Structure 1
């Protein structure tokens, strides 16, 4: 039987994020669109839950055998249909209020479309980590909406305007993009507001033949992720440089200042001028730290896909690690989740092979030289090994046949080499 060759995709999606600098009028337009998207989502979710509950209550009161249902019972079930994207959307459109016509109709339709996708992902057993759809709050750090009618002309992005919009046509303005668009063809555009600033994410449709692929190097590497640094065959990359220490110190200071300014003379003072000034400084520090780390991660992942054909990383449960009060802050700041996300789509773009090690693969406990796996009291923990008196960053193999017998080896480098062995021996990629 001939082996099936996987065809390369004809088109690839590359998303670029631009910062928008709207005037006072368009800033109000974006804020109202964000609020309307949240309103549509919450109304749709409430209606969806109500229809589902009514359907399940009626079914429980009737016979479980559909063949034994009477005609009257079938009519009752027909009057209480199961919720679906189409039904919920049609009911919300039929009950639209007058003020809703001042907003684009596509905002409602795209919001319910995303709600339907969220429910499908929730019931998909292949995606166990997908949570149940929740109501949106105006207190969330990021607010946004989607548009499939936006257009780009001469480097200006134009948002569609509702026919009954409260903003006159002569005051409706486009948004100038800081860079030249990658293509004239793009998908659904996402506008969002975060920390007082406005952004847009444009997913461009790029032909596969237009993407310049890096040369094949024939090399392989493995990346052992740790809090503060990532180890790979080319050395060590520090994801928490010293220049961030000063920024995180300011963040801690401003957080304490805000906690003191929340209450003044026994009354809430969250809208005072001093409170808003301190909050703006805190948001600026968060934004600066995020930009520095995103830049480091983008450059590091690009270096990996340019220099190596095979890359091995650990398939870590980041959500579970964030539940730990000991390492949650370090894991969050080290961007474990974003590293995997960036590397995954870049390997797909540039035709590189990404190997995910099993979640229970003992990379830390396995000796890279002889393959011996530590068990029981010999295991290395976050505090080292009490039985042998070794530190948390030391690995000592006690197999007498091992070339590294009784030698102190850096634990992170040993774990990286243990992961690298999966490129030549994929049969080892399982829990022991």
Structure 2
């Protein structure tokens, strides 16, 4: 069976100086449209509350039409689709605000020009001879050509809305394609994944999410952060004007980018392994943000990418026709004995540090009902696997 899916490929752009200026202007224009639309949205909503008239409540169409009607002359030099897509995304953001189940739930906020990442969207981009072609803005007299890019593999399918953004002085693009994805061969095997800080356990073993080469990069990041902090403490605001400060900050940004690439590569490989070898997969539904607020292992939780793992595994299961079951958030996979079914409560519970009452280690699970001595992670995997 073949299904149509949306696949996105991230590529690095290499624009010339004239095109860099245009891309920067479009990034600024996207932020301007978002902020203007959000301010207008808030004003419309306040007016509807004061007048007690639900018909005057804002929506994406009303806000867009109002902004288009009040366009300034300079706005006609830039792409009209930039404004329309910005307001469309603003409307989606307000819809997500009323759904607390969203991973980044919250009220839409104004965009800052100081943010390290700036970008815009366009549905007018095309791929011509292996390069990215954008509409030429009005009034641009400098050399205009298609943008070279690097990092693309087997780009086929219909190109959808393209996201272009600037980060740390470099330009990137997310190219979404609607492609035909064949289902993977059925294996008839099922598995469960228990997520932990630094590793993921499943029926076939353990996958390390914090390998040694990644930990070395984290040590370098810690060193660069201390160097920059020391310079700011000694020199104040003048520290950022020195060449050595800029050089160290560039090294820090390079290592952050490298960490993200390594982590994403690990998760992509592991999730592909799961959907290739198993037909049914069970994972946990964890309240990651609440867990990070405890400050017990917040840094390790952040680096383990629990949310990204679930996101990637979800869409890959949809692609290849595999079944993904998300256990209930309050299912006691760690506290339940996989042999007799007894659930630990109160002082008997197993924590990240083990159990202080019975002096057990963090990786031990001892059931005081049936006497079973189990590995904590293997016991959690068995309990999750019992849900299938």
1:318 to 255, 271, 288: 288
Structure 1 residues 245 and 185 mapped into 2: Cα distance closer, same or farther (>3 Å)?
same
Using the alignment, how far apart are the partners of 2:72 and 2:2 within structure 1? Answer: 44
* 1:186 alignment partner, one of 145, 159, 168: 159
Greater Rg, structure 1 or structure 2?
A: 1
- Report whether the alignment pairs 1:53 with 2:46: yes
Deviation at 1:81, TM superposition (A): 2.6
- Paired position in structure 2 for 1:411: 376
SS at match of 2:344: coil
Q: Judging changes above 3 Å, is the alpha-carbon distance between structure 1 residues 52 and 236 closer, same or farther for their aligned structure 2 residues?
A: same
CA RMSD in angstroms comes to 2.1
Please give the residue correspondences for 1:22-421 in structure 2 after superposition, counting only pairs within 5 Å: 22-59=15-52, 81-124=56-99, 127=102, 130-162=105-137, 164-168=138-142, 170-207=143-180, 211-262=181-232, 265=235, 267-400=237-370, 405-407=371-373, 409-421=374-386
Tell me, which stretches of 5 or more residues in structure 1 are unaligned? 1-7, 60-76, 424-432
| Cα distance, 1:289 vs structure 2 | 1.3
- For the structure 1 residues 366 and 126, does the alpha-carbon distance in structure 2 shift closer, same or farther, using more than 3 Å as the test? closer
Q: Closer, same or farther in 2 for the Cα pair 1:140/1:129, shift >3 Å?
A: closer
From the superposition, tell whether residues 128 and 332 of structure 1 become closer, same or farther in structure 2 (CA, over 3 Å).
closer
Distance of 1:187 and 1:117 partners within structure 2: 18
Using a 3 Å threshold, how does the CA distance of structure 1 residues 125 and 291 change in structure 2: closer, same or farther? closer
SS at match of 2:158: coil
Q: CA deviation at 1:122?
A: 1.6
DSSP 3-state at the match of 1:269? helix
CA contact (8 A) 1:37 1:145 kept: yes
Q: In structure 2, what is the Cα distance between the partners aligned to 1:106 and 1:189?
A: 12
Question: Shift of residue 386 of structure 1?
Answer: 2.2
1:49-98 Cα offsets, whole Å, 9 max, x none, are 01111221222xxxxxxxxxxxxxxxxx69x9322212211221122222
Q: Specify the alignment match of 1:72 in structure 2.
A: none
Distance in 1 (alpha carbons) for counterparts of 2:258 and 2:21: 26
Tell me, in whole angstroms, the C-alpha distance in 2 between the residues paired with 1:338 and 1:385: 30
- 3-state SS of paired residue (2:159): coil
- Check conservation: 1:36, 1:107, Cα contact below 8 A: yes
Superposed structure 1 runs of 4+ greater than 6 Å apart: none
After superposition, what is the alpha-carbon deviation per residue over 1:385-414, rounded to whole angstroms, capped at 9, x for unaligned?
Answer: 2222211211001123xxxx253x211111
Unaligned 5+ residue runs, structure 2? none
Looking at structure 2, the residues matched to 110 and 49 of structure 1 have their Cα atoms a distance apart, in angstroms, of: 19
The 1:176–1:376 alpha-carbon spacing in structure 2 relative to 1, beyond 3 Å, is: closer
**Secondary structure of the corresponding residue to residue 262 of structure 1:** helix
Shift of 1:159: 1.3
Q: For residues 298 and 114 of structure 2, what CA distance do their matches in structure 1 show?
A: 23
| 3-state SS in 2 of match to 1:25 | helix
Contact 2:14/2:147, CA 8 A, preserved across alignment: no
Q: Deviations over 1:152-185 (max 9, x none)?
A: 11211111222x24344x4343334543553341
Note if contact 2:338-2:379 (Cα within 8 Å) is conserved in structure 1. yes
Q: Give deviations 1:333-377, integer Å, cap 9, x for gaps.
A: 111111001100000000000010100000000111221111222
Supply the distance in 1 between the matched residues of 2:117 and 2:283 (Cα, whole angstroms): 30
Number of residue pairs aligned between Structure 1 and Structure 2: 388
Does structure 2 retain, via aligned residues, the 8 Å contact 1:262–1:275?
no
Q: Is residue 5 of structure 2 the alignment partner of residue 12 of structure 1?
A: yes
Three-state SS of the structure 1 residue aligned to 2:163 is strand
**Structure 2 match to 1:74:** none
Checking the alignment, whether the CA contact within 8 Å between 1:394 and 1:411 is kept in structure 2 is yes
TM-score scaled by length of structure 2: 0.94
